[in-house]
């Protein structure tokens, strides 16, 4: 027999849909601005190897979840970015291919920057930052990647 507590009423469903939005309109506005900026940068990063699109889409979705749920739901339903966001939300993992493409394009753009930048200390700083970012990104779990034995 079903427990009545397992099936909340419509009021609970409405409250659940907005439980993550921040209570302050000012803070929600800040989240919307940050989410919009992250989204625009992520779209640019999808076409330019200078910006990492995947973490920026995740950041935009997180901001919209706290600011305006319809934007968040739209991102989750999007045919290209939705599956990656669902993977992140459900399992805190990224698809293996997405992760590898992000690392390769990021390292290529950092490599170009290292060649162009003049001071040796700046080259070293860029190299260390790129390596740290690549290691961090690679360490994010992938459920569909090659098994580690």
pLDDT along the chain (149 residues), means of 10: 41 42 85 95 82 86 91 92 89 87 86 90 92 90 74
Say what the pTM is: 0.68
Where do runs of H (alpha helix) occur along 48-147? 53-67, 69-77, 82-91, 96-116, 120-139
pLDDT of amino acid 121: 95
Domain count, the chain: 2
Look up the domain containing 149 and give its range: 93-149
pLDDT of amino acid 84: 87
Residues 88 and 34 in one domain: yes
Residues 73 and 12 in one domain: yes
Residues 35 and 50 in one domain: yes
Residues 31 and 100 in one domain: no
Residues 74 and 107 in one domain: no
Residues 31 and 69 in one domain: yes
CA distance 82 to 67: 18
Residues 122 and 111 in one domain: yes
Residues 78 and 40 in one domain: yes
Is residue 34 within 8 A of residue 52, CB to CB? The reply is no
The residue among 42, 49, 139, 37 whose CA lies nearest residue 81 is: 42
The CA R_g of the chain, rounded to the nearest whole Å, is 19
Is residue 66 within 8 A of residue 28, CB to CB? The reply is yes
Structure tokens at 96: 């293996």
pLDDT of amino acid 143: 87
Residues 46 and 85 in one domain: yes
Of the residues 43, 62, 92, the one at which a domain ends: 92
Give the C-alpha distances (Å, rounded to integers) separating 38 from 7, 87, 128, 138. 37, 19, 24, 21
Residues 75 and 121 in one domain: no
Residues 26 and 37 in one domain: yes
Residues 78 and 18 in one domain: yes
């Amino acid at each position: 027999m079903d427990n009545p507590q397992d099936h909340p009423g419509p009021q609970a469903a409405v409250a659940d849909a907005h439980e993550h939005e921040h209570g302050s309109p000012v803070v929600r506005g800040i989240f919307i601005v940050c989410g919009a900026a992250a989204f625009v940068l992520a779209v640019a990063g999808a076409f330019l190897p200078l910006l990492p699109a995947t973490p920026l889409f995740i950041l935009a979705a997180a901001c919209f979840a706290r600011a305006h749920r319809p934007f968040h739901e739209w991102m989750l339903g999007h045919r290209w970015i939705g599956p990656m966001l669902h993977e992140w939300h459900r399992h805190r993992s990224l698809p293996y291919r997405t992760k590898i493409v992000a690392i390769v394009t990021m390292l290529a753009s950092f490599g170009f920057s290292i060649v162009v930048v003049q001071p040796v200390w700046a080259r070293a700083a860029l190299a260390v930052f790129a390596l740290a970012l690549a290691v961090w990104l690679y360490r994010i779990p992938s459920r569909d990647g090659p098994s580690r034995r």
